[in-house]
Amino acid sequence: MSSEGHWFHPVEPSPDASIRLFLLPHAGSGAIIYRDWESLLPPDIAPQAVTLPGRHNRREELTYENFWPLLDALHEAVLNDLDQRPFAFFGHCLGAQLAFRLAIKMEEEGGPAPVMVGMSGWSPVGFFQPTEEQSRMPEPELIEWIKKLGSFPAEVYDNPEMLALVVPALRADLRVAGDYEDDGAGVTCPLASYGGRSDPLQEAPDAMTHWAGRTPAYLGHNEYEGGHFYIDTHAQAVTAHFAHRLQRTVAKAAG
């Protein structure tokens, strides 16, 4: 469904960094959500943002509409791209869902696996899960909904051409997210979680506390002012916190 290399931006990770970091975006988006991260992260961490099929430079490709086939394709892309360096995942919203399951899959297979995972704006329990009906809601309703969440830059909403690119990918991603059912699985690697204090997609006040039971090495939850897209305004704080813990995790593993 995709050609190798298109999954990641930049295509090649910095050769000077000792740690790699795969960044997974929210529904309907691509690498752009992490556009500032390369300049914010320390030089020993090489970020690569994932672009799923059906958007940005991959918009000619078919989108996935089911969770598990997309996870399999992403898994293959990551495996094909790895080198000898330790690597981590960080995901926001649907990206967190994919990052978490990808880490589980890699650990289960006994091959290369991430040294750490960062989960933002999603939890396996107590978070909004889209339904099939919501993924098919009329365009004006869908646009109103994403406007309230602040999912995209303001100029997107008044630009029919940009909306025509965003909406089909968003619908497909909502179906992907809705296809997922939590089975209580966890990982052995450390997890750190992040969220916005007034995230409207967090349906249970204790939703983020559920991460503590998904790993024996939970690094805690950090909360910031803002809604679902708190990450846009707090990128500097989130990257600093995550990078520090990732560096410590890698150093500890190297012994």
Mean pLDDT of 139-154: 80
pLDDT of 164: 81
The percentage of residues in the chain with a pLDDT greater than 70, rounded to a whole number, is 97
Q: What pLDDT is stored for residue 119 in this prediction?
A: 98
- Per residue in 78-117, pLDDT (tens digit) is 999 999 999 999 999 999 999 999 999 999 999 999 999 9
In this structure, the strands spanning 45-50 and 8-9 are antiparallel
Task: Report, as an integer, the average pLDDT of 233-241.
Answer: 96
Torsion of CA 48, 90, 69, 50, to 10 degrees: -20
Mean pLDDT of 17-23: 98
| pLDDT tens by residue, 161-177 | 888 878 888 899 999 99
CA distance 215 to 191: 7
**Which residue bears the tokens 């009906």?**
133
Question: 5-19, 32-46, 135-149, 212-226: which range is least confident on average?
Answer: 135-149
Query: Which residues touch 138 (CB under 8 Å, ≥6 apart)?
Result: none
Task: Retrieve residue 215's tokens.
Answer: 């790993």
Residue-range domains of the chain with CATH: 8-254 (3.40.50.1820)
DSSP string, 61-125: SPPP-SHHHHHHHHHHHHHHH--SS-EEEEEETHHHHHHHHHHHHHHHHTSS--S-EEEES--SS
pLDDT, average across residues 192-209:
95
CB-CB neighbours of 217 under 10 Å:
12
The answer to whether residue 160 scores a pLDDT higher than 60 is yes
Distance between CA atoms of 75 and 168, rounded to whole angstroms? 23
Q: What is the pLDDT of residue 174?
A: 92
Pairing verdict, β 45-50 and 117-120: unpaired
Angle of helix 67-81 relative to helix 94-109, nearest 10 degrees?
60
The pLDDT confidence band at residue 2, using thresholds 50, 70 and 90, is: very low
- pLDDT of 4 above 50: no
CB 125 within 8 A of CB 211: no
Q: Residue 126, by phi and psi: left (phi above 0), alpha (psi -120 to 50) or beta?
A: left
The reported pLDDT for the residue numbered 131 is: 87
